Structure 1
Amino acid sequence: MSTDTNAASTGPVWDWAAGHGPVTGALSATTGAFALATTATATGMPPTWALAIGTAGAIGHSAAGLRERLAARTLALRAASWLAGAGWTTWAITTGPLTWAALGSLATLGVGIGAATHSSRLHEEAREEEALAVAARQVALELSADRRAIAAEWVDRVQRVCGITLRVLGVEMWPTGTGFTIDAELPPGGTTYDRIAKEAAKLSSDARLPHGCTATAGPGIHQGRVLIDVTNVNVLEQEVFYPSDYSRLSIHTGIPWGLRTNADEIRAFLREQCALVAGPTGSGKTNMVHTILAGFARAEDVLTWVIDLNAGSAGLPWARPAFDAQGRPVDGVRPGIDWLAASHKEAMVMLDALVRVAKRRKVAYQDLMAQANTDLLPISPSIPQIMLVVDEGAEILASTDREIRKLGDRILEVIRIARAMGARTVLTALGATGSVLGNLMIRREAKVRVALTGGEKEGMDLGKQFPGSRGLKPEQAPYKGAGFMGTPESETALFKSWRILPNQIRDIVTATSDRHPTLDGPSAKAAGDAYAQRWNPDRTQWMRDTTATPPTAITPATTGGQPSAGGGLNLSALRDKQAPASGPDEDAVRAFMEQIDKRFGTTDEPGTTRPERPATPGLNLSALQPGDGDARQAALALLLAAGPGGTGASAIARALADEHGTTRQTVVGWLKSWAEEGEAVRIGEGTKTRYVHRRHAPDQG
């Protein structure tokens, strides 16, 4: 209020740096001439001095106008104004400036100068606009020439490689500068775009595109049009870190999972769809899981439940920042995930709770769905979607172990009954094989699919994971974190997953703590105490215990990493070696273990030798041998995931080298042992030798 009053009281503000317009210019010229004439008359100045001054001004302004490249008429007007003003001043000094004739002629001169200046200014503006238009037309002509050249080149290339004559309607250059899109019309006669799509590799080779760049064809605006995306800059080899923008997301607007080759984000829409992420060891699959969890943490209407039977490693970085060393909550920080299961028992508790939640929602929200006139539960921050992320969940579904199969059956039940009620799954797998994709439920519901190849060919059947897509080869994405992604909203194509580091995970957990929703009342009631006490310090003790082995799927009779009082074998290979024997009589325990060794043929401790003995039927506990148990189990999982095609020792050793340091010689020994035990079948001889898991062997159907 005071500012406006002060401005009004001080009057208008003069801009002394501003140039003259037609009116102020003419007024300045006439008043200056009149002042000079009256002063010169009073002082007796010679009249010729005014004429000399005007001539100098005309010459100076003409020179300045030439430097500014003004039009000739503008230069003539400025020179004429100076000379006219100098002539009037000379005449007025001679005859007197205070006569009516002098004043009238001066006013006429001012009006003429103003009118001429206005006309000149309009002419200069039109001239400048025309110059800009000419420059723009020149740029457009140059761009059009480049695009015409691109269009002609690709019309010839498609004709040569695919035998199809296109009519190019437009060429759009990508703003990122990494490629372009050709919009073309297909020839008449029923030609479809997939005739070009299946020759993507040949087109890329013919165009001499760099590695990691492709020429892919997709549907156009109608079935008679085709869009050809051509990437000419390899963005897959670059390590791109997760964006530092942690703004709010929603399950309805999609969750970003990475970048296309044109540097555009690709989003997964998971309100009604499940997802499958396949990738061998070393392909960047674990990092992709963290990227997925980061997107869910940013969403205001998503709660994430994680199952990872490998010591909970996928979810630990997202849970630990919210608790102190004693397991108590840290003020102002909530876990980035809502529940973490690292054991078979906890996973079953979680899945049972999720099934109860889905069934309860079907009844509790009937009125809400009727009001919204929909058969899908309206997901919002008050009724959040539950995203179940299961690391290596596809292997759980394909497992032959009875206890693991129970987990798999419960996961399939969630997939089957919970779509409308806002519970979907993200499963990961070590490969895209028949055993992983053999389940109809997975193929039907997991419409968002990712294959992180890293250049690995073993176990990556892209044709099965992306049916209908042509020309996909692992060699196109030989970099960690790179592969193919397809969704119902976008065609299957190359993409790059973001790189996310542990310190950024902590930042995301802290930055998004205030937006995590809470489970709605009916769902929380259905989930029961198992959900309410999920972060109880007793149940999360294993997260902070650095001396005891975390709970695993092999020991369903344990809780929180500690032996339960229930029944079942208590095998020393699964306990911390420094833990005391679980009984008062260690001699009796030792005798019992010796009986197990004699009956089931268990392996010796490292550094001990014993005479060879004939193989005996029964349990084979060699997978529990300390030191290589995890690697051996991983190798067996790879053999199972290879499907009927089988695999060899070299491929398994390469897959295990980074994480376990396993050599080919060790894998050869395992394969021979499994073949003798009937766990695997050997096919071929010499360099063509391969092994097939007994589930996929020909005699096993």
Structure 2
Amino acid sequence: MAASSTKRRTNWSPTPKGPIAGSAMGFLGIAALSVIGQKVPFEPLIPAVATGVCCVGSILHSADIGAHTPTLLYRLLCVLGAGSWLTYTISMAEGLPKTSVTWLGLGVLTAAVTSPLFRHKGTTARAGRGPKGAVLHRKTAALAAEWEQRVWAIARIQMQVLSIRWWDSKAGYSITGFMYGGATRSQLSQFQDSLASDAGLPDGCGVEVDKREREGRRNEVILHVSTVNKLTEDVEWDHKLEMTSFHEPKKLGSFRDGSPVLIRMRSTSGLVIGQRDSGKTTVLQGMTYRAIMCYDALGYHLDLNGGSLSQPWLQPWLEGVTDRPAIDWAASNLDEGLALVSWLLDVAKDRKHTYRHLKIKHSTSRMPIGTGAAGEGPPALTLFLDEGAEVLAPGIRDPDLRELREMIEELQRVGRDAAVNVIASALRATQDTIAPNIKLQSTFRAGMFVMDESELNYLFGWKAAISTDDLYGAGTGFVQSKEFGTRAWKAGNLFPEGLEPHDPRFNMVGKAAIYVANHRPDVDAPAAAIGGRNYAERLERMRAAFTRSSEVALRDDEQPRAEGTAASPVAPPERPSVTLTAAAAAPGGRPHLTVVPDNPDQWPSPADIAAQAAGTRMFITDPRQSPETTWTAEQVPSLAAVTGGGQGLPPVLVRCLEAFAQARDDRMHSATLAAVLGISQEVLAELLRPLGIRTLPNAFSRSGVKLRGYALEDFETATERIRSGQLQVPEEVAGWGAA
């Protein structure tokens, strides 16, 4: 087997390398100067002056390169020793004494042996040249040496500083250097907090380990050192109303050094977490602003918390200022959310073959959006999910919510190529609130201020080595992306007024919504065809869902009242509360029942009930009449129907059965049934859930619209359970009919 060998090359450099070779050359040079000084007569004062000049030069050179004090003293001793010996030997008239040569040899040997102890390994102006030949300025050499020592003392990593750049914001500086010995950025990032503490940085300031975006080496590292806490200052939002391209980087805030936080939303799937009042919703609103302020993108909202995220964006449309909303589709309930996500998933899959020709035409692996002068590419579609803990949690038991989460996960996996992405948010970042797949598929992550650092560690990874001491209240947090790693940031403040108000009814978001509604694109024809009537009628359902609260208030105001007095809600008529208790069985196996009031103080004694049950009649006390009133067993069903006990059905169940009878159908969409009852889908679900009635797991079509809904069979089952006494109707359900 052939063995490879490396040919050794002769070093022809005039400057010897190594302490031994350098000392030997120094010995020969000084001895030669001494011999020349004796052959050529000149005053001994000349070498003495030259020695002083060399001492001053050594001091200046050591200061320029940032040499340590022991190194400076070592160099001065070498210069003084050599200069003193040379001056002495030149002044001798009888020639070069052998004892002097011996002393010179001993001095040179001592200098050679002790040289490694005083060798300066720091990064300095000339000795600190990196692979690219970088040279530090004299003023930053001491700072560079300080950080080299600090990195070695804290992390045991040998680093050579190449340059130090002071930030334009005057809030800190960035150190660029090379690490040796196989050290990695990941290893150094574990000591960020310790480095900041050792440097004595103020609260809210820290050290961030970063890398060059381009043309960098694996051992090259950048330390961003913050000396002034700029996170306490608001980041102004660019309120310029102008449609841009979705391909362009979008600014969401600023880092500590004042540089912008830029993300490319074309292929970004994001996750934002943060506790209440941490600025999480503001970040989501800002991302919505950037996404829909584009001529080649559309935004979609899913907020099961009443649609609060969408309210400011829909307000101009609801008040008739614009003909269409800025948000193409906003879902505020579970059924609408399932319809929206199902449609987006179908669109993402369809685009893979529908727009295949655009990929071939533009030689790209991702579907182009808005390409060409005619805008032949379809718009990008971005879904924003707010308050998604009840949807993103991995342990969801509700089949509807679990189905919604699974579709969102699939949309994250398959939607990037088709420009259909998901930006989700949640109050917490734990294993039981965010499914692992949701987190792993999120290429952009923002963790706003939280009290427990473990949540940030779960979001960014335990190797991130982040600390909440670097943050400053609402709007601050950590952000992670493949472009810039994990860094502290301050989100842009979207809500302060940036323009002169042209309509006092709308804030900055409302003004942007008006502009977007008048300039945004329409969804492409293939996507609209996939949605069918379900997509075509979305605006009608959105208007009904987001204006229902005002309609309820209007119905309350219909009651006549004196001018200046506040309207009071219509109180439901009083319902007598009656409890049926079983007594001893009568002959023939029929139980005797006694109706007693709710107040325990008015209950008859068990002995009296037993005595009454011994007769052939039932003694029933009705709180609306005198205690002596008696009823026969045949009269109990009618009484139960009046009082709501026994076989009486709650009004919501009766009205739903009537709606099914009028529709002559065994299934009915949730939106249709809620409209018949004049309530929202959320209220309908809350009323029916205690009765064991839930929406069907799969959507079904009625009149060309595919939505989720209820089955008549479930209502009939609930009716039988109530009449047989197997199901007790809660008071809030039984009393709804008077609302």
TM-score bracket for the superposition, by shorter chain length = 0.5 to 0.7
1:316 lines up with 2:306 in the alignment: no
Q: Is the CA contact (8 Å cut-off) linking 1:548 and 1:561 kept in structure 2?
A: no
Residue in structure 1 matching 2:146, options 139, 144, 153 = 153
Instruction: Rate the CA distance shift 1:600–1:157 in 2: closer, same or farther, 3 A.
Output: farther
Instruction: Rate the CA distance shift 1:592–1:357 in 2: closer, same or farther, 3 A.
Output: closer
Secondary structure of the structure 2 residue equivalent to 1:406: helix
Q: Is the CA contact (8 Å cut-off) linking 1:334 and 1:510 kept in structure 2?
A: no
1:527 alignment partner in structure 2: 531
Deviation (angstroms), 1:599: 5.5
Instruction: Rate the CA distance shift 1:320–1:218 in 2: closer, same or farther, 3 A.
Output: same
1:303 alignment partner in structure 2: 298
Residue in structure 2 matching 1:488, options 473, 482, 487 = 482
Q: Is the CA contact (8 Å cut-off) linking 1:304 and 1:338 kept in structure 2?
A: yes
Deviation (angstroms), 1:338: 1.3
Alignment of 1:673-692 (within 5 A): none
Q: Is the CA contact (8 Å cut-off) linking 2:154 and 2:194 kept in structure 1?
A: yes
Residue in structure 2 matching 1:201, options 193, 210, 221 = 193
Q: Is the CA contact (8 Å cut-off) linking 1:249 and 1:255 kept in structure 2?
A: no
Deviation (angstroms), 1:256: 2.0
Alignment of 1:626-641 (within 5 A): none
Instruction: Rate the CA distance shift 1:597–1:264 in 2: closer, same or farther, 3 A.
Output: farther
Instruction: Rate the CA distance shift 1:572–1:173 in 2: closer, same or farther, 3 A.
Output: closer
1:213 alignment partner in structure 2: 205
Deviation (angstroms), 1:495: 0.9
Deviation (angstroms), 1:269: 1.9
Q: Is the CA contact (8 Å cut-off) linking 1:279 and 1:451 kept in structure 2?
A: yes
Q: Is the CA contact (8 Å cut-off) linking 1:278 and 1:428 kept in structure 2?
A: yes
Instruction: Rate the CA distance shift 1:313–1:160 in 2: closer, same or farther, 3 A.
Output: same
Secondary structure of the structure 2 residue equivalent to 1:355: helix
1:179 alignment partner in structure 2: 172
Instruction: Tell me the amino acid that sits aligned with residue 405 of structure 2.
Output: G
Instruction: Rate the CA distance shift 1:249–1:230 in 2: closer, same or farther, 3 A.
Output: farther
2:367 alignment partner in structure 1: 377
Instruction: Give the TM-score normalised by structure 1.
Output: 0.57
For 1:343 and 1:549, the matched residues in 2 are separated by 18
1:456 lines up with 2:448 in the alignment: no
For 1:530 and 1:559, the matched residues in 2 are separated by 13
Q: Is the CA contact (8 Å cut-off) linking 1:279 and 1:431 kept in structure 2?
A: yes
2:584 alignment partner in structure 1: none
Secondary structure of the structure 2 residue equivalent to 1:443: helix
Q: Is the CA contact (8 Å cut-off) linking 2:722 and 2:729 kept in structure 1?
A: no
Residue in structure 1 matching 2:670, options 543, 557, 576 = 557
For 1:223 and 1:448, the matched residues in 2 are separated by 23
* 1:28-54 alpha-carbon deviations (Å, 9 max, x no partner): xxxxxxxxxxxxxxxxxxxxxxxxxxx
Deviation (angstroms), 1:480: 0.6
2:163 alignment partner in structure 1: 170
2:352 alignment partner in structure 1: 362
For 2:364 and 2:176, the matched residues in 1 are separated by 38
Q: Is the CA contact (8 Å cut-off) linking 2:331 and 2:542 kept in structure 1?
A: no
For 2:378 and 2:470, the matched residues in 1 are separated by 42
Q: Is the CA contact (8 Å cut-off) linking 1:303 and 1:516 kept in structure 2?
A: yes
Deviation (angstroms), 1:147: 2.3
Q: Is the CA contact (8 Å cut-off) linking 2:392 and 2:435 kept in structure 1?
A: no
Instruction: Rate the CA distance shift 1:207–1:600 in 2: closer, same or farther, 3 A.
Output: farther
1:426 lines up with 2:420 in the alignment: no
Q: Is the CA contact (8 Å cut-off) linking 2:210 and 2:222 kept in structure 1?
A: yes
Residue in structure 1 matching 2:329, options 311, 314, 339 = 339
For 1:517 and 1:417, the matched residues in 2 are separated by 23
For 2:152 and 2:335, the matched residues in 1 are separated by 61
Q: Is the CA contact (8 Å cut-off) linking 2:271 and 2:446 kept in structure 1?
A: yes
* 1:332-378 alpha-carbon deviations (Å, 9 max, x no partner): x6533211010111112212221222233223212222222233211
Deviation (angstroms), 1:386: 0.4
For 1:593 and 1:318, the matched residues in 2 are separated by 46
Residue in structure 2 matching 1:222, options 209, 217, 220 = 217
Instruction: Rate the CA distance shift 1:444–1:560 in 2: closer, same or farther, 3 A.
Output: farther
Instruction: Rate the CA distance shift 1:158–1:557 in 2: closer, same or farther, 3 A.
Output: same
Question: Identity percentage over the alignment?
Answer: 27
Instruction: Rate the CA distance shift 1:339–1:572 in 2: closer, same or farther, 3 A.
Output: closer
Secondary structure of the structure 2 residue equivalent to 1:256: strand
1:263 alignment partner in structure 2: 258
Q: Is the CA contact (8 Å cut-off) linking 2:317 and 2:325 kept in structure 1?
A: yes
Secondary structure of the structure 2 residue equivalent to 1:531: helix
Alignment of 1:393-472 (within 5 A): 393-398=388-393, 399-440=396-437, 442-453=438-449, 455-457=450-452, 460-467=454-461, 469-472=463-466
Secondary structure of the structure 1 residue equivalent to 2:549: coil
Instruction: Rate the CA distance shift 1:438–1:196 in 2: closer, same or farther, 3 A.
Output: same
1:352 lines up with 2:342 in the alignment: yes
Instruction: Rate the CA distance shift 1:203–1:171 in 2: closer, same or farther, 3 A.
Output: same
Instruction: Rate the CA distance shift 1:593–1:281 in 2: closer, same or farther, 3 A.
Output: farther
Deviation (angstroms), 1:171: 0.5
Instruction: Tell me the amino acid that sits aligned with residue 413 of structure 2.
Output: R
Q: Is the CA contact (8 Å cut-off) linking 2:306 and 2:333 kept in structure 1?
A: yes
Deviation (angstroms), 1:276: 0.8
1:510 alignment partner in structure 2: 514
2:240 alignment partner in structure 1: 245
Instruction: Rate the CA distance shift 1:256–1:595 in 2: closer, same or farther, 3 A.
Output: same
1:280 alignment partner in structure 2: 275
Instruction: Tell me the amino acid that sits aligned with residue 541 of structure 1.
Output: A
Residue in structure 1 matching 2:549, options 536, 546, 558 = 546
Instruction: Rate the CA distance shift 1:539–1:426 in 2: closer, same or farther, 3 A.
Output: closer
Instruction: Rate the CA distance shift 1:545–1:438 in 2: closer, same or farther, 3 A.
Output: closer
Q: Is the CA contact (8 Å cut-off) linking 1:344 and 1:556 kept in structure 2?
A: no
For 2:328 and 2:719, the matched residues in 1 are separated by 42
2:698 alignment partner in structure 1: none
**Which structure has more RCO (C-alpha within 8 Å, separation ≥ 6)?**
1
For 1:427 and 1:560, the matched residues in 2 are separated by 30
Is there any run of 5+ residues in structure 1 with no aligned partner, and where? 1-142, 576-590, 606-620, 626-701
For 2:545 and 2:487, the matched residues in 1 are separated by 41
For 1:174 and 1:356, the matched residues in 2 are separated by 48
* 1:502-533 alpha-carbon deviations (Å, 9 max, x no partner): 71101222333443121112222222222223
Q: Is the CA contact (8 Å cut-off) linking 2:231 and 2:490 kept in structure 1?
A: yes
Secondary structure of the structure 1 residue equivalent to 2:284: helix
Q: Is the CA contact (8 Å cut-off) linking 2:174 and 2:223 kept in structure 1?
A: yes
Q: Is the CA contact (8 Å cut-off) linking 1:280 and 1:431 kept in structure 2?
A: yes
Instruction: Tell me the amino acid that sits aligned with residue 476 of structure 2.
Output: A
Instruction: Tell me the amino acid that sits aligned with residue 338 of structure 2.
Output: M
Q: Is the CA contact (8 Å cut-off) linking 1:541 and 1:560 kept in structure 2?
A: no
Instruction: Rate the CA distance shift 1:211–1:556 in 2: closer, same or farther, 3 A.
Output: farther
Instruction: Rate the CA distance shift 1:353–1:193 in 2: closer, same or farther, 3 A.
Output: closer
Q: Is the CA contact (8 Å cut-off) linking 1:557 and 1:564 kept in structure 2?
A: no
Q: Is the CA contact (8 Å cut-off) linking 1:542 and 1:548 kept in structure 2?
A: no
1:500 lines up with 2:490 in the alignment: no
Name the structure where helix makes up a greater proportion of residues: 1
1:477 lines up with 2:467 in the alignment: no
For 1:469 and 1:270, the matched residues in 2 are separated by 26
Instruction: Give the TM-score normalised by structure 2.
Output: 0.54
Deviation (angstroms), 1:436: 3.9
For 1:499 and 1:596, the matched residues in 2 are separated by 58
Q: Is the CA contact (8 Å cut-off) linking 1:179 and 1:232 kept in structure 2?
A: yes
For 1:517 and 1:548, the matched residues in 2 are separated by 31
Instruction: Rate the CA distance shift 1:573–1:248 in 2: closer, same or farther, 3 A.
Output: closer
Instruction: Tell me the amino acid that sits aligned with residue 402 of structure 1.
Output: P
